[in-house]
Amino acid sequence: KAGVTQTPRYLIKTRGQQVTLSCSPISGHRSVSWYQQTPGQGLQFLFEYFSETQRNKGNFPGRFSGRQFSNSRSEMNVSTLELGDSALYLCASSRTGKTGELFFGEGSRLTVL
């Protein structure tokens, strides 16, 4: 069974640009969550989608957005990139809409110059 797939794995952007990250969940999983991981702040929740609807949102500015498609694949977008957006962005999928085990991808490492 294929795991959670995130693309791209690594990317470099400059300040002011925007970026789109993609996540394909495990087959049959309808919940997709996104987390930002940095050395200073640790793992912080961005948002969660279930059946194409955003159910929860973390405390991030509106520059961070996401969406989920009918096949459960998800994308997150960060506009007007800042240096502080450099981080590992982790996607996690879960089979149910209730609290359950999260299965994580390997992440997309974003560097903003």
Point out which residues bind another protein (CB under 8 A): 4, 31, 33, 35, 42-45, 48, 50, 55-56, 58, 90, 92, 94, 97-107
Residue 73 CB, nearest approach to another protein (Å): 17
Classify residue 25 by burial, with Cβ atoms within 10 Å: 0-12, 13-18, 19+.
buried
75 vs 103, beta carbon nearer another protein? 103
32 vs 78, beta carbon nearer another protein? 32
Residue 62 CB, nearest approach to another protein (Å): 19
70 vs 99, beta carbon nearer another protein? 99
